[in-house]
Amino acid sequence: MSTITASEVNKLRQMTGAGLMDCKKALQETNGDFEAAVDFLRKRGAKIAAKRADREATEGAVIALTSPDHTTGVVILLSCETDFVAKNEGFVAFANEIAKVALTEKPASIEALKALHVGPVALESRLQEEVAKIGEKIDVVHYELFEGQNIVAYIHGSNRMGVLVEMNLAPSDANTAAGKDVAMQIAAMNPVAVDKDGVDTSMVEREMEIGREQARAEGKPEAMIDRIATGKLEKFYKDSTLLNQDFVKDSSKTVAAMLNGVESGLTVKQFKRVQLG
């Protein structure tokens, strides 16, 4: 077993909420591999609240914007080193300036975005100027572009998270409001996909294996293991895919049912959730 430091144990505890000794054992058994340690804890039935690895920066500002006709949406994450800078009005204004250029010019990548002018110079040069002025490393570390017939944007928690949602029907007051509710759902519940068909095969296999190990740990007969694991997978789909989740504003219906009630056939085509920290 590898030597595990107290800081590593505490990091896993912060990620999962599991006990200190459980976290230490999990890291020892997996040679310090945090993802494997999370699976180790889950397989042994530990009650954890694992956070998916969608962290992109320690501090910064996330900006999500859509065009007036809702056909284009962007989300950018401008990172920095400290909370003090992240909350500075000038820093947030700079992040908004970058997002507006991205929304207008629709660059295909971060590299293409950095080649565009934000003010009198290219963003790449502007970032260097801001670093010299602020005294911290800052960078655009995440950029997403959506194009469709109805894009909704949402910013949560003082620019700490941004969500883009693409709806499948043309904008109306009702379905754009529903899209905002869906974006808030995504911010709160962090689904892994729109529906179970969008869940990556490797994640399905991982959940099945965890379900099998949990069933074995509970002493279930081997002949029942796959059936139990399949049931746990269905629970995973219910909890972790957007359209199958209970709607946070009315848990008597799913997100899919809420959308269909707003407008027949209304659904979500894709989403992106970008989060700090």
* pLDDT value, residue 55: 39
Q: Which segments in the chain show pLDDT lower than 70?
A: 1-2, 46-57
Among 95, 251, 247, 231, residue whose Cα is nearest residue 178: 247
* pLDDT value, residue 208: 93
* pLDDT value, residue 252: 96
* pLDDT value, residue 51: 45
* pLDDT value, residue 268: 98
* pLDDT value, residue 10: 86
* pLDDT value, residue 15: 78
Domains of the chain: 1-51 (1.10.8.10), 59-171+267-275 (3.30.479.20)
The rounded distance, in Å, linking the Cα atoms of 255 and 266 is 11
